[in-house]
């Protein structure tokens, strides 16, 4: 008899289920804690060991918070619409509704075997009709407010997937999910006006406790750019071209004006002599996408249009060119080229022999024909701007332009409206009707949900005609309450729709009158901590924030932002083995000899890569649970290293944590699984054990709060070691250990709690307190100097860093007296030794 996870884990999982241990209910007398996992899409491959990394982290937080007295909401569900589910269905030839249901069953079983403290009564899938209804309801709200509209736009068309994609889904001309090439094509599409929210999507980031890199990526995606627009009349015509610039200060350095090949003005200003070359150039530009055109390293090309623009201040004639590095979709699609101070313009001017005029002094007399100077300095060659700084000159120039009707301050954004329709089967149908006169009527709310029709052939069509168009009986209908013929919209929503608001539905998942009750929303929102993979730094988080802000404006949610704290777990990597030809091998056929790896006689190279089926390195959590137990898996994933870094899966680590759990078991139980005789009641806890107890409580508590689970586990291991070797195991100390262990390895902790004589679950047992005095590490003597002279000595905790050491010194009454009335100019703290205060009189 010994520690046996196979027996105790199912037992406790059943107990929690039967007793609804983790059911969350609104309780205004308690502080709430809402912890959210990024819910998975139930792919056919099943869960892999990367998923539980984030889930375990939130579960530790939730279990800890419950023991602290928080009312915890921890839900789980399934993101089941979208391309991945559909692609899987297409591969297997089974209808997506069936495969999705099956995959959800698999996922749920796998997740449940890991013992997470979810409130399963709140589970739903985004494909559930009751959920679809409200996703479509949100669309109607967007439509009502003019935030959803149809437009003929140049879209990202993916020929391999036969669908359009959002800008966010395309990188370097490829669909990020599959790597299939993406081309530009004009199509009539549904768009969401996310651009209306551009400023708020940037500004409201300031109040969030999110990783700085994620905030930066969101800011860059929105790409707010503050500058000016300037109008330049075209010589000899009634037209003028408007350019957008962030450097109005450099207007005197403009030596030409450049339009994007798509610019509408070209048709009216190109001279007859230049027409043929310009047209050829435009045709060629059409084959290139923006990422290629915008690439700074690409050789500049362009042609002269024959037209001239008039400089708004000097009246000089500036040649107008067309060049593909100027993008149609940004600013006004036209630039004033300042070769002296913009790298791309510099290259362009050098290539075509255009003048380069310095207007900002670099203070070094650098050769401006060699390289652009993009830095600060004083204005030169700039008329009324001469002598001003760049910042002053920007302001002065904008004022001049505004006074002369030649331009104004202007903010532009990189963000584009969200392309919201897909030519796919497996998504929420867009709930509107088209009448024969071309008008669009939204479905009434009571006609929702509108589910995709039954279709046998749900494959996308090459022409871009949505598969739903094939369900003719479904498409042909009448306008609500009339017999006016109408056609249903056949585009569907993108896979991002369902995940843009699921965290709100978890609050009140069975409500059939409102998408969430006011009471539930007020009580639970915002999400206190949101944990998920680093791949969601832009798309999902931006879309969810956008929808949330719309819902806020409508008055149905009370917080401006949905996710107060965000944490990205690192990716789970794994070793993979390749031969010279790049073929992958199954890792259990690989043997190691002299530090080299072989399969039979074939020598293989080993690398750390992303887990994927094609690399034969995916680990299924079920296998790990089977061999080591769920508690061991949870502990191992948290012990691998800091949560936020990417780490390779190494089975050897599992043996270590499993041994730790066995040791914990034997600490509490004897060989007959009875309470161990060394576990004794009694008031006299030896000083070392007492200090160890308080110290461990303190550090584990602090580490959980800081999501430093690996160091918390290391402390628990230390505690178990000391206790195991102690001559007695004071009961209170052992119980404390079991409580501290509970968030990490809940099954074994529950079982040991029972062995210690308690009935029922320890899920709500109070988290242990610590006495700060007893929790201090060993102390040491520190010296305090004032202006280099030793003035005081005190005992403080060892290992204080410079900041903490200086603070500890200042907290000493004697030191306070020494510094009284004197100005501290500098504090020099040398960890482990001293603090020196440099003071004036
Ligand atoms: C003149 C100038 C002088 C510029 C100078 C820069 C430096 P961000 O900051 O990214 O917003 N620009 C404007 N519209 C463009 C377009 N459609 N395609 C390509 N480039 C465009 O960039 C703003 C700057 O990018 C603008 O300021 C403009 O060049 C260029 F010393 O105007 B600048």
- Please tell me the distance from the alpha carbon of residue 818 to that of residue 797, in angstroms, as a whole number: 22
> At CA 693, angle to CA 688 and CA 696, rounded to 5?
115
Residue 798 confidence (pLDDT) above 80: no
550 has pLDDT over 90: yes
210 occurs within a structural domain = no
Determine which residue's CA is closest to atom 33 belonging to ligand 1: 245
Any alpha helices (H) in 20-119, and if so which ranges? 51-67, 83-92, 96-112
Would you state the pLDDT for residue 503? 98
Protein residue closest via CA to atom 12 of ligand 1:
335
CB 261 within 8 A of CB 305: no
The verdict on 255 and 236 lying in the same domain is: yes
Q: Are residues 272 and 158 in the same domain?
A: no
Per-residue confidence at 106, pLDDT binned at 50, 70, 90? very high
Q: Band of the pLDDT at 1, cuts 50, 70, 90?
A: low
* CATH assignment at residue 85: 3.40.50.620
The mean pLDDT value for 218-240 works out to 96
Domain finish residue from 610, 628, 660: 610
Is residue 3 in a domain? no
Instruction: Verify that 426 and 503 share a domain, yes or no.
Output: no
State residue 291's pLDDT score.
Answer: 75
> How far apart (Å, rounded) are the C-alpha atoms in residues 358 and 755?
82
283 shares a domain with 339: yes
Query: 249 CB less than 6 Å from ligand 1?
Result: no
Model pLDDT for residues 255-289, shown as the tens digit of each residue: 999 999 999 999 999 999 999 999 999 999 887 87
| Cα 362 off chain centre by | 40
Does 428 or 153 have the greater pLDDT score? 428
The pLDDT of residue 642 is above 80: yes
Q: Provide the number of structural domains found in the chain.
A: 6
765 pocket-lining for ligand 1 (C-beta < 6 Å) = no
Q: For a ligand 1 pocket test, name from 219, 222, 328, 331 the mutation site with the most ligand atoms within 8 angstroms of its C-beta.
A: 331
Q: Whose CA is nearest to atom 1 of ligand 1?
A: 245
In this structure, is residue 333 part of a structural domain? yes
Distance CA 61, CA 98 (A): 35
The reply to whether ligand 1 has any atom less than 6 angstroms from the CB of 255 is: no
> 537: which 2 tokens?
């730094």
Give the model's pLDDT for residue 529: 98
Contacts 24+ apart (CB under 8 A), 174-181: 177/83, 177/84
- Distance CA(707)–CA(711), nearest Å, equals 9
- The DSSP symbol for 185 reads E
The pLDDT, as a whole number, for residue 251 is 98
Residue 6 located in a structural domain: no
Question: How many angstroms separate the CA atoms of 197 and 42, rounded?
Answer: 31
Burial environment of residue 552 by CB neighbours within 10 A (0 to 12, 13 to 18, 19 or more): middle
Instruction: Indicate if 286 and 362 belong to the same structural domain.
Output: yes
* Whole-number pLDDT of residue 714: 94
Q: What is the pLDDT of residues 4-58, one digit of tens each?
A: 999 999 999 999 999 999 999 999 999 999 999 999 989 888 899 999 999 999 9
CA distances from 238 to 119, 257, 310 (A): 68, 17, 12
Q: Which CATH number does the domain housing residue 308 bear? A: 3.90.740.10
Q: Which residues are CB-contacts of 94 (< 8 A; sequence separation ≥ 6)?
A: none
Measured CA to CA, the distance from residue 740 to residue 767 in angstroms comes to: 8
Indicate the range of 4-13, 179-188, 555-564 predicted with least confidence. Answer: 179-188
CA 32 from centre of chain? 24
Extract the annotated binding site.
Answer: 613
Q: Are residues 736 and 637 in the same domain?
A: yes
- Calculate what percentage of the chain has a pLDDT beyond 70: 99
Question: Over the stretch 668-689, which tens digit does the pLDDT of each residue have?
Answer: 999 998 999 999 997 689 888 9
Task: Pick the last residue of a domain from 430, 464, 488.
Answer: 488
Same domain, 389 and 295: yes
What's this model's pTM, rounded to 2 decimal places? Answer: 0.85
Looking at residue 587, its pLDDT comes to 83
In a domain, 211, yes or no: no
Residue 179 domain-assigned (yes or no): yes
Q: Which domain holds residue 634?
A: 620-776
What is the rounded CA–CA span in Å between residue 433 and residue 439? 8
pLDDT of residue 630: 98
What average pLDDT does the structure give for the chain?
Answer: 93
Asked if residue 85 has pLDDT above 90, the reply is: no
Of the residues 488, 517, 537, the one at which a domain ends? 488
13 ligand 1 Cβ < 6 A = no
Do 673 and 606 lie in one domain? The reply is no
* 145 and 113 inside one domain: no
Query: From the CA of 304, how far away is ligand 1's center (Å)?
Result: 20
Q: pLDDT-derived band of residue 455, with 50, 70 and 90 as boundaries?
A: confident
| Annotated binding-site ranges for ATP | 613
505 is a domain residue: yes
Mention every residue, 6+ apart, whose C-beta is less than 8 A from residue 81. 126, 127, 426, 427, 428, 493, 495, 497, 498
pLDDT at 378: 96
Instruction: Say if ligand 1 is within 6 A of residue 229 CB.
Output: no
Q: Are residues 271 and 323 in the same domain?
A: yes
Residue 459 counted as domain residue: yes
User: Is there a single domain that holds both residue 652 and residue 693?
Assistant: yes
Confidence of residue 119 (pLDDT cuts 50, 70, 90): very high
Q: Pick the more confident residue, 794 or 341.
A: 341
Tell me what pLDDT residue 544 has.
Answer: 98
Within this chain, do residues 664 and 758 fall inside the same structural domain, yes or no? yes
Residue nearest to atom 5 of ligand 1 (CA): 342
Long-range contacts of 702-709 (CB under 8 A, 24+ apart): 704/60, 704/61, 704/64, 704/743, 707/57, 707/61, 707/567, 707/643, 708/642, 708/643, 709/57, 709/60, 709/638, 709/639, 709/643, 709/744
């Amino acid at each position: 008899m010994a520690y046996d996870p196979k027996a105790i884990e199912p037992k406790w999982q059943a107990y929690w289920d039967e007793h609804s241990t983790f059911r969350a209910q609104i309780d205004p007398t308690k502080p709430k804690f809402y912890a959210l996992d990024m819910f998975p899409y139930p792919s056919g491959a099943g869960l892999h060991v990367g998923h539980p990394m984030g889930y375990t982290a939130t579960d530790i937080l939730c279990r800890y918070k419950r023991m602290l007295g928080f009312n915890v909401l921890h839900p789980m569900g399934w993101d089941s619409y979208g391309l991945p589910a559909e692609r899987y269905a297409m591969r297997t030839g089974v209808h997506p509704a069936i495969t999705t249901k099956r995959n959800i069953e698999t996922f749920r079983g796998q997740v449940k075997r890991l013992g997470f403290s979810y409130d399963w009564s709140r589970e739903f899938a985004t494909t559930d009709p009751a959920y679809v209804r409200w996703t479509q309801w949100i669309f109607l709200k967007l439509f009502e407010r003019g935030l959803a509209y149809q437009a003929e736009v140049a879209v990202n068309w993916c020929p391999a997937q036969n669908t359009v994609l959002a800008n966010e889904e395309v990188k370097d001309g490829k669909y990020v999910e599959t790597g299939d090439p993406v081309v530009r094509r004009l199509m009539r599409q549904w768009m969401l006006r996310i651009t209306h929210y551009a400023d708020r999507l940037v500004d409201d980031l300031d109040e969030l406790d999110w990783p700085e890199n994620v905030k930066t990526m969101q800011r860059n995606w929105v790409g707010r750019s503050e500058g000016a627009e300037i109008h330049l009349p075209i010589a000899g015509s009634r037209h003028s071209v408007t350019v957008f610039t962030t450097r109005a200060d450099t207007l005197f350095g403009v030596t030409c004006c450049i339009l994007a090949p798509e610019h509408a003005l070209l048709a009216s200003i190109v001279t007859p002599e230049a027409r043929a070359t310009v047209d050829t150039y435009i045709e060629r530009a059409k084959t290139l996408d923006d990422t290629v055109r915008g690439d700074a390293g690409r050789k500049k090309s362009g042609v002269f249009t024959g037209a001239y623009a008039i400089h708004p201040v000097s009246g000089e004639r500036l040649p107008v060119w067309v060049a593909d590095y100027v993008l149609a979709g940004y600013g006004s699609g036209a630039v004033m080229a300042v070769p002296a101070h913009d790298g791309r313009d510099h290259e362009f001017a050098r290539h075509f022999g255009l003048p380069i005029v310095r207007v900002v002094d670099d203070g070094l007399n650098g050769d401006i024909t060699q390289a652009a100077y993009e830095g600060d300095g004083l204005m030169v060659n700039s008329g009324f701007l001469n002598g001003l700084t760049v910042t002053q000159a920007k302001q002065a120039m904008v004022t001049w332009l505004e006074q002369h009707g030649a331009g104004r301050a202007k903010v532009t954004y990189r963000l584009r409206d969200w392309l919201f329709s897909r030519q796919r089967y497996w998504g929420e149908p867009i709930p509107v009707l088209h009448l024969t006169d071309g008008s669009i009527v939204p479905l009434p709310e009571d006609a929702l949900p509108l589910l995709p029709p039954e279709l046998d052939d749900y494959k996308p069509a090459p022409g871009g005609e949505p598969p739903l168009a094939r369900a003719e009986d479904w498409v042909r209908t009448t306008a609500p309450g009339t017999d006016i013929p109408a056609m249903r919209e056949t585009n569907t929503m993108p896979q991002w729709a369902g995940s843009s608001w699921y965290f709100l539905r978890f609050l009140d998942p069975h409500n059939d009158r409102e998408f969430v009750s006011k009471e539930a929303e007020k009580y639970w929102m915002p999400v206190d901590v949101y944990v998920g993979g680093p791949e969601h730094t832009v798309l999902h988080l931006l879309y969810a924030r956008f929808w949330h802000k719309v819902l806020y404006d409508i008055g149905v949610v009370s917080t401006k932002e949905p996710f107060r704290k965000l944490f990205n777990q690192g990716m789970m990597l794994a070793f993979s083995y390749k031969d010279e030809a790049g073929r992958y091998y199954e890792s259990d056929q690989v043997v190691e000899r002299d530090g080299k790896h072989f399969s039979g006689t074939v020598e293989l190279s080993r690398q750390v890569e992303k887990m994927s089926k094609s690399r034969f390195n995916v680990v299924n959590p079920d296998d790990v649970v089977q061999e080591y137990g769920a508690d061991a898996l949870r502990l191992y994933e948290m012990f691998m290293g800091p949560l936020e870094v990417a780490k390779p899966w190494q089975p050897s680590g599992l043996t270590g944590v499993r041994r730790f759990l066995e040791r914990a078991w034997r600490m509490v139980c004897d060989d007959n699984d009875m309470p161990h005789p060394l576990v004794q009641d009694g008031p006299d806890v030896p000083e070392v054990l007492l200090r160890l107890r308080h110290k461990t409580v303190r550090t584990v508590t602090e580490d959980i709060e800081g999501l430093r689970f690996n160091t918390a586990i290391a402390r628990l291991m230390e505690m178990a070691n000391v206790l195991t070797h102690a001559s007695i195991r004071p009961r209170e100390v052992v119980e404390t250990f079991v409580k501290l262990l509970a968030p990490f390895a809940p099954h074994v902790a529950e079982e040991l709690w029972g062995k210690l004589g308690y009935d029922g679950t320890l899920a709500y047992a109070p988290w242990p307190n610590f006495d700060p005095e007893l929790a201090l590490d060993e102390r040491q003597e520190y010296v305090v100097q004032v202006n280099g002279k030793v003035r005081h000595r005190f005992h403080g905790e060892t290992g204080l860093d410079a900041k903490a050491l200086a603070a500890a010194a200042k907290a000493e009454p004697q030191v306070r007296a020494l510094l009284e009335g004197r100005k501290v100019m500098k504090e020099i703290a040398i960890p482990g030794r001293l603090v020196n205060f440099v003071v004036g009189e």
